[in-house]
Amino acid sequence: MKLERSCGVVLHPTCLPGPYGIGDLGPAAHNYLDWLAGAGARWWQVLPLNPAGPGWSPYAATSTFAGNTALVSPELLLQDGLLEPSDLADMPQLSPFKVEFERVVPFKGTLLQRAFQRFSRKPPAKVESAFATFKEECVWWLSDYSAFAALKRAHHGASWHDWPEDLSLHRPGPLATWAGRHQRELLFEDFCQFLFFSQWRGLRAHARSLGVSILGDVPIYVAGDSAEVWANRGLFQLDPRGRPLVVGGVPPDYFSETGQLWGNPLYDWDALEATGFAWWIARLRATLELVDAVRLDHFRGFAAYWEVPAGQKTAIKGRWVPGPGRRLFDAARAALGHLPLVAEDLGVITEDVVALRDGLDLPGMAVLQFAFSPSPRSTFVPYQLRHNTVVYTGTHDNNTTLGWYVGDASEAEKDYVRRYVGTDGHEIHWDMIRLALSTVADLAAVPHQDIAGLGGDCRMNTPATAEGNWRFRLTDWMVSEALRDRFAELVWTYGRSGA
């Protein structure tokens, strides 16, 4: 992927402001695109858009093909005649500062049920036609996902491993019998997915009209309790009951002394290769229909991945196992053509990872919060950066820049960054933004929290912790004209606006 000199902002749609307790794909998202374009940002980087899994993590999604229906906009449903104002009369008081998933998700589910009931009684002709087309185009993944979601709901959220055996093992006869008895529940899941994809496509069309591209995110792994593992057990290293034999993670690193034990089932790469990597090709194709480019999370796992025996309490007792390497990407390019990918190459990066990244001519990543260890010097220190790179002040896994400087950075790091930038540190977030924009890296990406100068209580995620993540939300002052114009001045100064 060849990048032009540009800049972007990192913000997941759940973080957008609005009255419904969670950001969504409605007016606030369209307004945010206008804000980005006004700032000269040419990229909006989002996290995975799939249904959030345990801990509300978009990186532990219950499907890699389905969309997160908590992002469906009630205001757009009102415009389409699928809700009436009276449907919102019982809306609870929801925080404008953080996403209270435990309250928001049931409330949004109730609104979706009301929209489905109204559609079932008297479907608007335009919506009915579009829904029929959607089901026909997406049946290849939608039927399994809707069955999975409806079964999970019927079993009160229990993992598919704990369903009755005939259903948990995805046996066609019993599944067909169950589906015949629950057609309305399946149709509801289809309908919710239709709403998500319709609203997202409208948002993406607006982005294109403004010259803003969207950088999406594909985690290397999928959750064990997901539609994809349930329906494709032969592609993963599982026991006969579908439990993982080995799980994914990373060894000890700068995020955690005991490593990160993600717990995802690992692929059976031989089985995937025997199909020509068809599942992975379908995954990339589906994602690239929604976004303009994809950040491949944990890229190093394609060269070699950390395998931990199931049942371990930490990720320490694992081993490196060779991944599919270039064979996967050559197959994907043969099927899909040019692949606009960014390699998330953070962590333990060895020569084989660098060779794979550079052999595919993919941009890698650099994070300025990791750049200022005085000795040994980091490869992320700005004078060592190269053009074919995406440089970040921090990512969704980092503290905010202010939180890092105040709470995480050592005194030696603080001293070095002040010397490097020529600052007293009183506006360290703007210093680091300026530094990122000034580098030779083709793309500079800044979390919106840094533009707003927010502290560590506003970080998006703390790796290796299960609770309290993914809840940050913008409030109106954080998308003010003053902040936009200050950011825009720096974007223009460092030649990243394209103007």
> What distance in Å separates the CA atoms of residue 195 and residue 209, rounded to the nearest whole number?
22
In this structure, the strands spanning 246-250 and 43-45 are: unpaired
Q: Spot the catalytic one: 397, 413, 431, 442.
A: 397
> How far is CA 179 from each of CA 66, 182, 225, 269, rounded to the nearest angstrom?
19, 5, 20, 32
The yes-or-no answer on residue 361 being catalytic is no
| Pick from 374, 370, 375, 339: nearest CA to 357 | 339
> What distance in Å separates the CA atoms of residue 308 and residue 317, rounded to the nearest whole number?
6
Q: Spot the catalytic one: 24, 87, 225, 297.
A: 297
The yes-or-no answer on residue 489 being catalytic is no
Q: Spot the catalytic one: 80, 185, 225, 344.
A: 344
The yes-or-no answer on residue 397 being catalytic is yes
Which residues are known to be catalytic?
A: 297, 344, 397
